[in-house]
Structure 1
């Protein structure tokens, strides 16, 4: 099998094309690219022809592609960028130092530079930052024959992404969006058919400043190949394609998973993350959780006399707080995912709460029974056994209540619900669970009620 290192040692471009054919997996390509020494990266960039650049740079991480381009002269790098779709080229430019990006854009043809500068002017997390500006457009006053001639002229002047070309957008003289026609319907329509006869005016759109994840979910939920992006005047700016939406959803899912683990998103591939970046992304949450967890010690200190009077109460503290944390984690993991996809929101609390609390009642009864048996095996006496059993049930129910409300409440306040991480829920339940445990103990155990 051809390796990248061997492919770039030969002057024959076919060797590099063979490596691309034999290495379709994105992860394998990324790994081999990272392993290249600087001289080999320079040779690789020099060997890239426009069609090969599109096959390689368009499917790897933008940061990896940006690192490759820094090994070439501005003229060479600009030539490779010119072969890419505008949205992909913009993503790569965002990963470059500002001075380098400006130099590359300056080496591009003016029309291309104008498009890329327009994309880079939008916030990185907006829909407009990820759109393909080269959408196919026709006029409502045309017939099928003239529309197809115009489309041929458009694609000859500026090739259009295959997914973006799935739809043709009907606009007025000011490029305001009036409707949409599928390219298939346009091609198959009888000659002379007016465009208005084929136009669908009920269009799903997003505005330029729509959050990228919202735009991606809108596209995928409606099973579209492309989604038009408009401004406040309904002017068509471009389209977001299905492959771009899939990348956005994947990135957001990765970020949510990292937050659920109690860490800030790395924002770079893991293998590119330095120890300093790992420290910076993790230490803040750990400090927050450390401070939050400190009140657990305060609770234990407050009930110090109770622990001295009935030492066996301490045997079950890890079991109780662990069960409460695990219960909350199960619920938040499910609800955070449902909230991030728009499946549930605070308006659904009246449905979510009964469902989760009903499940929690059954779980708490099961855990209470198991806890009773465990306490019995330790021979701690009936008062402690009953205390542990009732406390387990109460803590499970309390954890379910907190975990059911908090993610939905954060969604309503436009805070990413993924910040309700597993460690955070466990921390909240630890201290409050101990309060529940000791209050129940004082009510049941005779020695503590005196």
Structure 2
């Protein structure tokens, strides 16, 4: 069912006081579609609609809501209702929600949870954001190596309702050290009397609890895993990161990179829910900073005032040249930022990539110089044409190399390379382009 249709159906049913019809609509639709429609309502209305569902269905649907919507709705729920919801949610999802609550709400909620759930929430919520620990779940299945397959299958059958996934199980020793892994398929096909340790794979791809979530997502994608085990500093198994959670983290990282590439700080809510004040606050710093960066271009123009006064035709080509340099720089930066993010390029590849970019940028600059030479001849004569042509080659090469090198430099000093894209590269290349262009003009025209 489409979001708009579902939204209208729910609104009509509740307005008419027809709870039975509203409940039937919620039960027929997919939780992801319901969550998308619920986000269109106020938090108070959403609490009312969600109360029509059974508690298990409520918990499943809650996991599909955006983080911002979850936090807003949770604040409108009573302590008892919220505690009951927490008891039904996946371990990693309730830990994430717990971190989004205010400190006062956290202290109010914890006494309403069972001791095991309370300790689990505290432990998972204690890990730094955007790390494997913050992303992992504690709902995973474990086996012992000395168990026969028959006993292992019986244990999985009993635990399946409470685990996020049993398709991949992890073999641990008495100290919870990870010693192997085994898929459910391998267990089902094995002889019931064989031991788990005879079937398990001992070379297990894993991650550390403090690993960045972007690295975790890369590992899961690279090794094509359903889940990735997470170990603590003592190499004990403490959780797993599932494929769907890794995919959510990858989308979050890509969104953050896209925002930074436009010189916008990470938004705390979806674009359709973020406040005007937050948008202002997240954008103003870079815009003000880049204003002062643009003064470099103005200073360059002022420095070559005499050249411009004698050859006014030069002004006609300035936006064309500076814009071309900025475009070339943005292209290079975008390609390099993405290559660094996906691991296609590393710091050791810098010399190779730089050499190739010099050749490509030179070819691009020559092609564009040929295109503008005739225009320069037409507007200002052969001397102006040569100025524009030489400047075009140099500006495009400079822009491309700046766009290429800036992400490398930021990565080297432990800053996010995505910051190098868009406005930052354009501002730097604009100032450089002005100096190059009028520098050529002064030299070639003999001023």
Distance 2:10 2:230 in 1: 39
Distance 2:120 2:303 in 1: 65
Equivalent residue for 1:186? 187
Equivalent residues in 2 for 1:357-368, closer than 5 Å: 357-368=358-369
Distance 1:339 1:186 in 2: 40
Structure 1 pair 34/399, CA: closer, same or farther in 2 (3 Å)?
same
Cα offsets for 1:290-345 (capped at 9, x unmatched): 11111111111111111112121111111111100000101111111111111112
Deviation at 1:391, TM superposition (A): 0.2
> Is 1:19 the counterpart of 2:20 in the alignment?
no
Equivalent residue for 2:405? 405
3-state DSSP of counterpart to 1:272: coil
CA RMSD of the aligned region, Å? 1.8
Using the TM superposition, name which of 49-58 and 262-271 deviates more: 49-58
Distance 2:168 2:110 in 1: 29
Distance 1:407 1:193 in 2: 54
3-state DSSP of counterpart to 1:271: coil
3-state DSSP of counterpart to 1:166: strand
Distance 2:154 2:171 in 1: 15
> Is 1:30 the counterpart of 2:31 in the alignment?
no
Question: Contact 1:30/1:64 (CA < 8 Å) preserved in 2?
Answer: no
Segments of structure 1 that go 5 or more residues without pairing to the other structure are none
Equivalent residue for 1:231? 232
Distance 1:7 1:264 in 2: 41
Question: Contact 2:139/2:163 (CA < 8 Å) preserved in 1?
Answer: yes
3-state DSSP of counterpart to 1:169: strand
Question: Contact 1:360/1:396 (CA < 8 Å) preserved in 2?
Answer: yes
Distance 2:195 2:80 in 1: 46
Equivalent residue for 1:143? 148
Equivalent residue for 2:372? 371
Distance 2:27 2:333 in 1: 42
Distance 1:228 1:24 in 2: 28
Structure 1 pair 254/218, CA: closer, same or farther in 2 (3 Å)?
same
3-state DSSP of counterpart to 2:337: helix
Deviation at 1:196, TM superposition (A): 1.3
Using the TM superposition, name which of 181-190 and 403-412 deviates more: 403-412
Segments of structure 2 that go 5 or more residues without pairing to the other structure are none
Equivalent residue for 2:438? 438
Distance 1:236 1:217 in 2: 20
Equivalent residue for 1:66? 71
Question: Contact 1:4/1:32 (CA < 8 Å) preserved in 2?
Answer: no
Deviation at 1:351, TM superposition (A): 2.6
Equivalent residue for 2:306? 305
3-state DSSP of counterpart to 1:185: helix
Query: TM-score, normalising length from structure 1?
Result: 0.93
Distance 1:18 1:68 in 2: 20
Query: TM-score, normalising length from structure 2?
Result: 0.93
Deviation at 1:46, TM superposition (A): 2.6
> Is 1:394 the counterpart of 2:394 in the alignment?
yes
Aligned partner (choices 80, 83, 89) of residue 94 of structure 2: 89
3-state DSSP of counterpart to 1:180: strand
Deviation at 1:202, TM superposition (A): 0.9
Question: Contact 1:336/1:418 (CA < 8 Å) preserved in 2?
Answer: yes
Cα offsets for 1:73-132 (capped at 9, x unmatched): 111111112211111111222222121123223211111111111111111121111101
Equivalent residue for 1:419? 419
Question: Contact 2:35/2:62 (CA < 8 Å) preserved in 1?
Answer: no
Number of positions where the alignment pairs a residue of Structure 1 with one of Structure 2 = 439
Equivalent residue for 2:295? 294
> Is 1:111 the counterpart of 2:119 in the alignment?
no
Deviation at 1:37, TM superposition (A): 6.8
